[in-house]
Structure 1
Amino acid sequence: MKSHYTKIFAFAALLLSAGAANAQTAGTAKVKGTLTNENGKPADYATVSLLRSKDSTVVKGTLTNDNGIYTFTGVKAGSYVVKATMVGYLKSASKTFNVTEGATVTVPVLQLQQASKSLQTVNVVASRPLIERKTDRTVMNVENSILAAGNSAMEILEKAPGVTVDKDDNISLRGKQGVTVMINDKLTYLSAAQLATLLRSTDGNTIQSIEIITNPSAKYDAAGNSGIINIKLKKNRQSGTNGNISATAALGKYFRDNTSLTLNHKEGNVNIFGTLSRGDSKRTNNLGIDRTVTDQTSTTYFSQQTRMTNSYHYNNFRVGADVETGKRNTLGFVASGYFNPERDDNFNRTNIGNKLLVYNGYQITNSVIDQSYKNLAFNLNDHLQLDTAGQELNADLDYSTFKNRSAAQYNTMFFGNNGVENHIPLLRRNNTPSEIDIRSAKADYALPLNKTSKLEAGMKYSSVKTDNDLRAEVDSTTKGYINDATLTNRFIYTERIGAGYLNYNKQFKNTSVQAGLRAEYTSSNGNLVTGSVSDDHNRVVDRSYLNLFPSLFINHTINQKNEIGFNYSRRIDRPSYDNLNPFVYYLDQFTYSQGNPFLKPQYTNSFELNYTYNHAINLTLGYSRTNDVITEVILTDPAKKATFQTTLNLRVQNNYNLNLNTPFQLTKWWSGNLNATAFYMSFKSGSVQNGTLGSGNLDDGKLAYNGRLSNNFTVGKLFKMEITGNYQSSLVYGYFLIKPQYSIDGGISKAFLNKKASLKLSVSDIFNMRENNVISRAQGNNIDIHQKNETRVGRLTFTYNFGNTKIRVRQHQTGAEESNRVKSGN
């Protein structure tokens, strides 16, 4: 394995050297300096621009750090001027200076003078600060700021408060991954790699603002608790063609690769765009389970080791067009889809005995599962700007269809402790076709009432139907494979949701308030068409319920460096379609998983008090209470001496948390970000008996903490390096005790060809330390689970952007957020 990584690093060094040879189009000089206020103290987080002296063209832009220091790298030889601006101060500019290749130029200290009261009043009204806090979001105003010059969208996003981007381009908000990224209020539905490619090829001059929403308002679907980052782009009026191509080679235990191609073309009032991507991957997962099963007369000990090898291939596409039918109206269409075949090869050995570590025999199960995931989705959208005051109407129509297939073969052989086969093999096979159709329609309307208040309203309707058909067969030895009536099932689930919302925004002098209310009416029906359920009443689960989801956001600016805020919202998480499916999936006859059609949605009330210092350091105190919390549990069936995984609604989860996120700049070449969270999470619920909750006995919680420290280094003038450490302490989650997890990631990157091309080498979990060790304590049993996924993977990625990089496709938000509850393969 070590020789493989040596080859990758050697190959990367050759490519990076070649990139350096091609980097002559970029400058090699550096310009630095210090900015102070009228009292001689550092002016932190002020905007500084580097201008050509002959025509005052902005070449680069940046922010000063905590010490008032700014730095420009990659500067070409020439004559320049540095200009500094800050809200409440007059502009300041340096004298003209010359730069030669390879030199480091230190600009004399620039001092900002406070504007007079009359000028200050004009400045505050006419100019927005770079970072401003609104009622339900933090906004980074990029348009007309020098920060946009010479930077990509990804580079600007990395400077946004509370946002971190790791070496693999995964975006986190206050330490939490799974952040929803929107462009122009439209969901991207792109993978992390695809999104990174898009953002790195987006010129900063095309961005208007970046909005950071940690607790979404009533305007957004009530489902989910993840934050939102919304990147607003300026309207594109340029014509031409652009695109990018990206290729990655990776090596864990096996080789992996993926490639993608993106093209955009704008001609007149028509914009056509498309993305194609493909990839292959193979990985391993080792699982160990030690457990005991006790009935009224005896105790049985199991020690199980499983090696799982997963191979998959994916093909994704996304094509569409936008047509400007008038000065204020844009009509768009998007078609997307994927085809992801997958194969799982599993080898499982289970030792069985009546005494601890003394086994009477063992069984071996070999299973092969061939699966395919197919999807087609269509979106028709319209954006109508009703007037110049901000009144607008947006509408979306969506249709998505998913066709998933799974064919599994399970062969189990039985042996005594002498290794001699002592029973007829058990042969099973399953065929599981499933289809999911999602339809949705939504409309959003915004009406400014005056300069300080606005009203928003909207409606949405969605309809979902899932049809799952499990055909189970067992080998009878005399008749071949015959139907197994105890496992064969067909499950049809339908769901309809109608929603409407109102939002009211009001801006006072130093305080802003937003209040909203969203109503959602849900009607669902789960029908076990065939199966072994003896009680016909339990074959159908029919539910209808109306929910109200209020939200409130208050933000107050104390002074230029201190802001406080409070927000509250109520949200819902509905069970995934996979968890509702009652089918049984085997690892062996003593280990399986099973869905639960009786799952109810969970409801969360969240409260958050936050404090921001200097537009950079964020401290948040939060509390949330979730009722009917959807939780995975591992149970035992004494009659079958089997252990199975399922999902139940536990009664209450309480979560108290304190989060600190702060960037830091130790030296001119060493910067980073620290995100630390301490939380106390507790659960209260009934005991689990026969897969249901009985009288209350679960009352457990634990103080836990996690941290993420990222360090960014500028190595010479050509390379950037990142090292990130992650740590999660032990914690309690429902009936699980999860042991600590930790890892260290690293990477090095190089941009060349005038930033049109880049090469990145990275390794996740460098020391191969990350693993999952869990103890399950349901039903009074201790089940020890040890899982080691393939976490150490080396990746080499090349990206090239071509054409007119100032052309940007209008992104679309499909209305089908329900598709997030559909499994799509790995």
Structure 2
Amino acid sequence: MINFKLSRTRQLDLIIFILLMSVSVCRVNAQKTGDATDTTIVPVKILYGTLKNMQGEFVSNALVTLLKKDSSLVKATFSDERGAFSIRYSTQDTLQLIISHLSFLPLQQLLIRSDSVAPVPMNVTLQPKSVSLSEVTIKVKKPLFELNGDRILVNLEDNPAYAGRNTFDALGAAPRLTIDPISKSISLDGKTGLVLYVNGKQLYSTPSESIAYLQTLPAANVVKIEILTSPPAKYDAAGAGVILIQTKNMIKEGLTGELSVTGGAGRYVKSNASLSLGLQTKKLQAALFFAPNYQPTYYSWQRQQTLFNANRADGYSSGSQFNYVDRFGQLLRTSLDWTVSKNTVIGSVLQGSHNNETQNPVASLDYRLSSPNAPLMHIDAQNQLQQKTWNLAANLNFRTNFTSTRLLTGDIDIASYDDKYRSIALFNERENNVPSTELFNINYPNRVTIKTAKIDYQSSFMKKGSFETGVKYSTILMNNQPFVNTLTDGFLDVKAKLANGFHYQENTSSAYSNLSFSVKKVNVSAGLRLEHTSYDGRSTSNEAVSRNYTNLFPSLSLNYRSKSEYGISVSANRRIVRPAFDLLNPAYLYFDPLTLYTGNPLLIPQYTTTVQTTLTTPKRLSLTLLHYETQNRITEVVYRIDSIQATTLNTNINFAWERRWSMTLSYPFTIKTGWQLQAAVTAHNTRYYSNYNDIDVYTSQSTAILRIFNTFKTKYFTANLNFIGRTRAVIGYFRYDPLWNIDAGVQRSVGERGSLKLAATDIFHTAIIKNHGVYLNNRIDFAHRYESQQILLTYTYRLGNLKAKSVEERSFGSQTEQDRLQGNGTRK
């Protein structure tokens, strides 16, 4: 019996096969009518049976087809919900039976001619899409990364080298993507200001808290990461690109879940855990995710500075710092979807996070100016930077299918971000061995509220195309008002700057349309996005800046793939990176006694135009060529405040432009059975130019980055050995020395539900970040270390029905506004 409760797509397929069957029967009848001597009576036969998987469960909606030797159709049907199928046919030819299903390997079998009219029963077991080695069924393993047109895929599932690590670390596996744990930034092709999705959910924090958030999300909970290097118009134009992080979906039939626990050590013992639960009923889908972590770590640096005045040396400073960081965080996320009718679903998402971080930097510095009789100064500094953040976001959404080809969705989001930051410092200064002590205690409370609303409509276009359009509105409020608890006389000159508050409001309205269609073998996607932004920023020192601007952001993507699986894609787009909120805040912060940080309220957005093309072959070899130009590039600078002291100022300015030519070549291949190697090399030339304050600064550098990932698979375990190396690089006016590191991991199943993964990161402890540069009146040389060398052990246990089918989990709607709270600069 055919199951008539099939999807519309399946019903259409069935109708087509029935029509084809009718044509075939008519042709047979016509042949009988034209041949008077044909008196053979062909008996009607029945082929029936049941389809099951390897676990003995019924397989529904499998296509069962009977073909003649010439591949002409005899008859076809689908298996019902109990895996049963039945076909009546009347031919004595030798037939071919084909059974196909998206989740299983196709089955082909010859049915030899027989004069028997008795039914022929078949009980068929379908094999999952896997390969067999030495009688051991092994799932097809995807490579760690894939370059596919204008997107990069990173498949983290079953890669033990990232076991126990966090999502921030995992992002470093992607070609063309760079993470920097010192400056707490993520960049794509050298451009910061990325838009991050975690199942469509926004990250809303300053740079350090966004990194803490990603460190809270275990990489073991991430299935894959997709980087859109040329996003279509449906995505906000803000950001250098879009990063989609897909976590394991625990919303399945019945109650299911997964528990993961990690313990390990680098310099300090650390741990994290995660619990995912999902529940599905006929009308309701619910999910819960909770992830606590304790991640103490450290950062250290050594610094040498040469101070200039009128192009001549005017003094020096040198120092070192060790910063122990005590960090604890937790993330809770719940989602609920309710099917109110056949075509309509409404849902909600609630998310809360809390991070508690205390930094304890201890620094020792010496400096001397070149003025006559200038004394040798020595400073011992003890700081404590306490930061507590609370985030709460709520989302209401709906999804309505008018027909199978027309879809309407909408989202309303409200999010709040509350940051309590306190800086306490004790500076012991000795001038010619005569001691003096200065101290301060300042609070920097900060609150951000984000409200967004969006609606999107999607419809079919022509036969194989689609049309998308939508509108969005967002408003952002930020209020930061420092207050001084304690301040000694030595800081009175900068008291007003340390206590400078900042109030900011931004409103953005946007609309877009995107059209996708095919012309022969070429897939075309073209879109246009309109965004209007107005903002007003005011400080308590009566500094004010207001801007009002409207921009168009076009995007175009062309993809061609031949029958032999060779492909080429070409894409172009224009995007904007707005300054992160902390980069605009004019309040002063002390990094150390000789370094002040402040935001720059006069920063303007940067605009980037990108053109890229990717060539692919059937053996997964891919070559990407890219060129982009960025105007008003937001760049970090460090310069001497004035000629009478050694203090330097760390801030951001707009460089005139940045230009890059880039090539990325990727190729996976098998060394031998059980050993797969994947290599990717990126070579690029990057140039920067600035004429800030009428002073020309020009830098350029050619750089190569090599990634080699080895996967070893045996009957008992899977292992990874990864290498990442980079030659000299440049960012702004800072030049970076070569860098390399090696990671390894191994995993093994423990019963049907459990698995153990062991990871070792930066095995040879070579991840030392060295950079140097000259800007205006200051030359600086840095050497940074962090806790890159760790050993982590993770145990994962799956709960509930392992055979349950996954269903879609609902996500947030307001994306880019909260992402900007991550920051797109380098504020430490």
Normalized against structure 1, the TM-score is what? 0.75
Shift of 1:245: 0.9
Paired residues for 1:16-415 under 5 Å: 57-59=52-54, 146-147=128-129, 158=144, 163-164=153-154, 165=156, 167-168=161-162, 170=170, 172-176=173-177, 186-187=200-201, 191=214, 194=217, 196-198=219-221, 213-228=228-243, 239-295=253-309, 299-354=314-369, 360-388=376-404, 390-415=405-430
Q: Residue 595 of structure 1 contacts residue 646 of structure 1 at CA under 8 Å; is this kept in 2? A: yes
The one of 732, 739, 742 aligned to 2:740: 742
Following the alignment from structure 1 to structure 2, what is the Cα–Cα distance between the partners of residues 306 and 193?
26
Q: Cα distance 1:181–1:580, how it changes in 2: closer, same or farther (>3 A)? A: closer
Percent sequence identity is: 25
Shift of 1:320: 2.1
Shift of 1:761: 0.8
Map of 2:447 onto structure 1: 435
Letter in 2 for 1:709: I
Q: Residue 620 of structure 1 contacts residue 660 of structure 1 at CA under 8 Å; is this kept in 2? A: yes
Q: Cα distance 1:477–1:510, how it changes in 2: closer, same or farther (>3 A)? A: closer
Following the alignment from structure 1 to structure 2, what is the Cα–Cα distance between the partners of residues 127 and 810?
18
Following the alignment from structure 2 to structure 1, what is the Cα–Cα distance between the partners of residues 688 and 226?
34
Q: Cα distance 1:224–1:791, how it changes in 2: closer, same or farther (>3 A)? A: same
Map of 1:819 onto structure 2: 818
Q: Secondary structure at the match of 1:484?
A: helix
Q: Secondary structure at the match of 1:777?
A: strand
Q: Residue 304 of structure 2 contacts residue 780 of structure 2 at CA under 8 Å; is this kept in 1? A: yes
Q: Residue 440 of structure 2 contacts residue 488 of structure 2 at CA under 8 Å; is this kept in 1? A: no
Following the alignment from structure 1 to structure 2, what is the Cα–Cα distance between the partners of residues 268 and 128?
23
Q: Secondary structure at the match of 1:495?
A: strand
Segments of structure 1 that go 5 or more residues without pairing to the other structure are 1-53, 61-82, 84-88, 92-118, 131-143, 203-209, 687-692
Map of 1:458 onto structure 2: 470
Following the alignment from structure 1 to structure 2, what is the Cα–Cα distance between the partners of residues 433 and 152?
54
Residues 619-628 or 150-159, more deviating = 150-159
Following the alignment from structure 1 to structure 2, what is the Cα–Cα distance between the partners of residues 305 and 780?
21
The one of 780, 792, 795 aligned to 1:798: 795
Map of 1:768 onto structure 2: 765
Q: Cα distance 1:477–1:595, how it changes in 2: closer, same or farther (>3 A)? A: closer
Superposed CA RMSD in Å reads: 3.7
1:5-43 residue CA offsets vs partner (Å, 9 max, x unmatched): xxxxxxxxxxxxxxxxxxxxxxxxxxxxxxxxxxxxxxx
1:555-599 residue CA offsets vs partner (Å, 9 max, x unmatched): 222442211111000011111111111111113332121111111
Map of 2:609 onto structure 1: 605
Following the alignment from structure 2 to structure 1, what is the Cα–Cα distance between the partners of residues 523 and 219?
33
Q: Cα distance 1:153–1:423, how it changes in 2: closer, same or farther (>3 A)? A: farther
Map of 1:12 onto structure 2: none
1:389-409 residue CA offsets vs partner (Å, 9 max, x unmatched): x21011111111010011111
The one of 662, 672, 675 aligned to 1:670: 675
Map of 1:98 onto structure 2: none
Map of 1:580 onto structure 2: 584
The one of 756, 761, 771 aligned to 1:759: 756
Matched residue pairs, number? Answer: 671
Map of 1:732 onto structure 2: 730
Shift of 1:813: 3.1
Paired residues for 1:555-594 under 5 Å: 555-594=559-598
Residues 595-604 or 505-514, more deviating = 505-514
Q: Residue 351 of structure 1 contacts residue 359 of structure 1 at CA under 8 Å; is this kept in 2? A: no
Shift of 1:666: 0.7
Following the alignment from structure 1 to structure 2, what is the Cα–Cα distance between the partners of residues 391 and 59?
37
Letter in 2 for 1:545: Y
Does residue 1:516 correspond to 2:527, yes or no?
yes
Following the alignment from structure 2 to structure 1, what is the Cα–Cα distance between the partners of residues 492 and 249?
63
Letter in 2 for 1:325: V
Map of 2:536 onto structure 1: 525
Shift of 1:188: 7.9
Shift of 1:781: 3.2
Letter in 1 for 2:379: Q
1:193-249 residue CA offsets vs partner (Å, 9 max, x unmatched): 74754456x9xxxxxxx987442110111112335558799998x641011111111
Q: Cα distance 1:232–1:432, how it changes in 2: closer, same or farther (>3 A)? A: closer
Shift of 1:819: 1.4
Q: Secondary structure at the match of 1:437?
A: strand
Following the alignment from structure 1 to structure 2, what is the Cα–Cα distance between the partners of residues 299 and 154?
64
Shift of 1:128: 13
Larger RCO, structures 1/2 (Cα 8 Å, 6+ apart): 2
Following the alignment from structure 2 to structure 1, what is the Cα–Cα distance between the partners of residues 489 and 195?
53
Q: Secondary structure at the match of 2:129?
A: helix
Following the alignment from structure 2 to structure 1, what is the Cα–Cα distance between the partners of residues 589 and 754?
46
The one of 627, 647, 651 aligned to 2:652: 647
Does residue 1:777 correspond to 2:777, yes or no?
no
Q: Cα distance 1:523–1:694, how it changes in 2: closer, same or farther (>3 A)? A: same
Q: Cα distance 1:187–1:612, how it changes in 2: closer, same or farther (>3 A)? A: farther
Q: Cα distance 1:428–1:304, how it changes in 2: closer, same or farther (>3 A)? A: same
Shift of 1:807: 4.9
1:359-383 residue CA offsets vs partner (Å, 9 max, x unmatched): 8231111111111011000011111
Shift of 1:424: 2.8
Segments of structure 2 that go 5 or more residues without pairing to the other structure are 1-48, 56-63, 65-69, 73-94, 106-125, 164-169, 179-185, 187-193, 204-212
Following the alignment from structure 2 to structure 1, what is the Cα–Cα distance between the partners of residues 630 and 450?
27
1:621-653 residue CA offsets vs partner (Å, 9 max, x unmatched): 000000001111111112432112111110100
Shift of 1:176: 2.4
Letter in 1 for 2:658: Q
1:141-179 residue CA offsets vs partner (Å, 9 max, x unmatched): xxx995389999995585855534462162554442669
Letter in 2 for 1:431: N
Shift of 1:316: 1.1
Q: Residue 713 of structure 1 contacts residue 721 of structure 1 at CA under 8 Å; is this kept in 2? A: yes
Residues 804-813 or 511-520, more deviating = 804-813
Normalized against structure 2, the TM-score is what? 0.75
Q: Cα distance 1:771–1:276, how it changes in 2: closer, same or farther (>3 A)? A: same
Q: Secondary structure at the match of 1:225?
A: coil
Q: Secondary structure at the match of 1:822?
A: helix
Q: Cα distance 1:230–1:580, how it changes in 2: closer, same or farther (>3 A)? A: closer
Does residue 1:788 correspond to 2:785, yes or no?
yes
Q: Cα distance 1:498–1:484, how it changes in 2: closer, same or farther (>3 A)? A: same
Following the alignment from structure 1 to structure 2, what is the Cα–Cα distance between the partners of residues 233 and 698?
47
1:461-515 residue CA offsets vs partner (Å, 9 max, x unmatched): 111111111223554479x999933421110111111110011112111112111
Map of 1:135 onto structure 2: none
Shift of 1:192: 7.1
Map of 1:17 onto structure 2: none
Shift of 1:261: 1.1
1:504-542 residue CA offsets vs partner (Å, 9 max, x unmatched): 1121111121111001101111111x23xxxx5xx1110
Q: Residue 294 of structure 1 contacts residue 300 of structure 1 at CA under 8 Å; is this kept in 2? A: yes
1:58-82 residue CA offsets vs partner (Å, 9 max, x unmatched): 549xxxxxxxxxxxxxxxxxxxxxx
1:62-120 residue CA offsets vs partner (Å, 9 max, x unmatched): xxxxxxxxxxxxxxxxxxxxx9xxxxx999xxxxxxxxxxxxxxxxxxxxxxxxxxx9x
Following the alignment from structure 1 to structure 2, what is the Cα–Cα distance between the partners of residues 289 and 402?
34
Letter in 2 for 1:424: S
Letter in 2 for 1:301: Y
Shift of 1:737: 0.9
Map of 1:471 onto structure 2: 483
Following the alignment from structure 1 to structure 2, what is the Cα–Cα distance between the partners of residues 59 and 663?
30
Letter in 2 for 1:349: S
Following the alignment from structure 1 to structure 2, what is the Cα–Cα distance between the partners of residues 601 and 317?
33
